[in-house]
Amino acid sequence: MSVVILLVTFVSFSQGQEDQNALLKQIKWQRGPCISSLGNEAEINIPAGYIFSDATGTKILMEAMHNIPSDKEVGVIVSTAPKWYLLFSFSDTGYVKDDEKSSLNANAMLKSLKATNEAANEEKKKRGWETFEFIGWELPPRYNAQTHNLEWATKFNSKDGTTVNWNTRLLGRDGVMSVTLVSTEETLKNILPQFNGLLKGFSYKAGHRYAEFHQGDKVAAYGLSALVLGGAAVVAAKAGLFKIIGKYLFLMLIPIIVFFKNLWSKITKKKE
């Protein structure tokens, strides 16, 4: 995505709950089992026990959670139990070469992520939002050359405990599908098998697959390392635009369980 905007703040249920309810009622959900489109580029199989909403519904959900939509969202999958979700966003920045697959420097990237988190915290303070301590890797970046998937996981401390953002980038011919799994550290181990099962149901549509790249196609101006650090936002920052976009470069997602509490049933319950 051109700008990574991944922030969900804690919601005060004593204020604005009616507005949140009104937003949630606007979301159209598909219940699994079904096959759902992720924009024009991809599709995913939704098993029973999960619900899905498209780009429009995802943006409404982000707003209800006091998030700033990136306009790159193409879908969200919500698990009915336990309370976690997957956010899908697509960046059409072009084909990302995987030349760095054997030379990913986790230590160097860690330093950059820590520095960017500090900058993001300064912006959060100005807005009166909670800041988060960046701990480090839950999983250092790794790339699967067979599936063309890049994944890594980061850990943060907050007043309510440790949060893990599990990031996956699915490379395609025209760009990158970003998948973020948001959960608490305690539930991550149990969730990962379900998450991996869901990703097996993901596929790029014909003409959009990584292997279908042709000479002359658009090529991204960055590689695998930059994807971990924020993708095109890193390129823009180096070009002197950090004052404009830097505050959005490394903002994290908070587990959905914090937001939903009493509102969870409004999303996951089956409408009569």
Mean of pLDDT over the chain? 78
pLDDT, tens digit, 9 for 90 and up, residues 164-201: 888 999 999 999 999 988 777 778 888 899 999 999 99
Domains and CATH numbers, the chain: 17-268 (3.40.1000.10)
Q: Which residue has the higher pLDDT, 81 or 50?
A: 50
Q: Is the peptide bond before 141 cis (omega within 30 degrees of 0)?
A: no
Residue closest to 151 by CA, chosen among 186, 202, 116: 202
Q: Cα(239)–Cα(241) distance, rounded to whole angstroms?
A: 6
| pLDDT tens digit sequence for 211-247 | 999 999 999 988 998 888 776 555 444 444 344 334 4
Lookup result for tokens 């369980």: 257
The DSSP secondary-structure symbol of 223 reads -
The reported pLDDT for the residue numbered 265 is 60
For the stretch 3-28, pLDDT in tens is 333 333 333 333 356 666 777 788 89
Q: Which residues, including other chains, have CB under 8 Å from residue 240's CB and lie 6 or more apart? A: none
SS3 of 17-34: HHHHHHHHHCCCCEECCE
pTM reported for the whole predicted model: 0.80
**Nearest partner of 212 among 81, 40, 41, judged by Cα:** 41
